[in-house]
Amino acid sequence: MKTHRFIGNFNIKPGDLRIGDPELFNQIKSVLKLKIGEKIILGDGRMNEGLAEIKELGRDFIGVEIGGINTNINEPSRHIILCCSILKRENFELVVQKATEAGVKEIIPIITERTVKLNIRPDRLEKIIKEAAEQSGRGIVPILRDPVNFVDATGGVNRNGINIIFDMSGEIFGNWKLEIGNYPLGVWIGPEGGWTDKELERARVENFKIFNLGKLTLRAETAAIIGTYLIVHNFSVAL
């Protein structure tokens, strides 16, 4: 039986805890219809977790008792930053959801020369990210950054040890060509229309590594999901 996980501003320590957050209260009581005696996992978003038993279902709160406390062991060790062009709403929502499940630590919406949609709904995206982090068993909730244009973004990535930009013009990606150490790494995904020659030249000037994900042309959201997963989990694309 699945034990549902919730990440929030919880004080994770043994003993009783009263949960009064309206959204979480509704999810536990009305959506999941959990009962007294059932157990849930509460995380504080800083890798601390506690196994809690539901003791009381109040009118507007849930009372739990936290027993065992542990440190989350599911969180990927690599600090991967997804820099993805803003896509059509449902496609970009899919990207942030699946990238969170794959294990990225940060998501930066990028505005490129061929970006069609310029606006995002941070509140909705943050909710999607949080739910994906809970569902996938993570110990943190990835950070959603403010949108930034491509030139400014490339100028602010010096803290990344390596930046990988995916484009059909690059070499096929393989870990035998690239040592990925324990430092932040940027994964760059272009818009539906692809990167422009000017943007790729900018990437070369900034010493980005340009790779492709095979001979087939992937949709932007597909490339974002596959590319981040391969890098987070240290896989290679077969030739």
Note whether 171 and 65 are same-domain residues.
no
pLDDT surpasses 60 at 55: yes
Does residue 174 form part of some domain?
yes
Residue 238 lies in a domain: no
Cα Rg of the chain, angstroms = 20
pTM of the model: 0.90
54 in the same domain as 103: no
How big is the chain, counted in residues?
Answer: 239
Q: Which domain holds residue 213?
A: 80-232
Please give the pLDDT value at position 158.
58
pLDDT digits (tens, 9 = 90+) for 126-147: 999 999 999 999 999 999 999 9
In whole angstroms, what is the distance from residue 18 CA to residue 54 CA? 10
| Same domain, residue pair 105 and 190 | yes
Determine the pLDDT at residue 63. 95
Residue 49 pLDDT:
96
Q: Phi and psi (nearest 5°) for 140?
A: -135, 165
Written as six digits, the tokens of 69 are 């406390």
Tell me: do 47 and 88 sit in the same domain.
Answer: no
Residue 19 lies in a domain: yes
Decide: residue 23, CB within 10 A, 0-12 exposed, 13-18 middle, 19+ buried: exposed
- What counts of helices (H) and strands (E) characterise the chain? 6, 12
What average pLDDT score do residues 95-120 get?
96
Q: Give 149 or 159, the one with higher predicted confidence.
A: 149
- Answer yes or no: do 34 and 94 share one domain: no
pLDDT confidence bin for 161, thresholds 50/70/90: confident
As a whole number, the mean pLDDT across the chain is 91
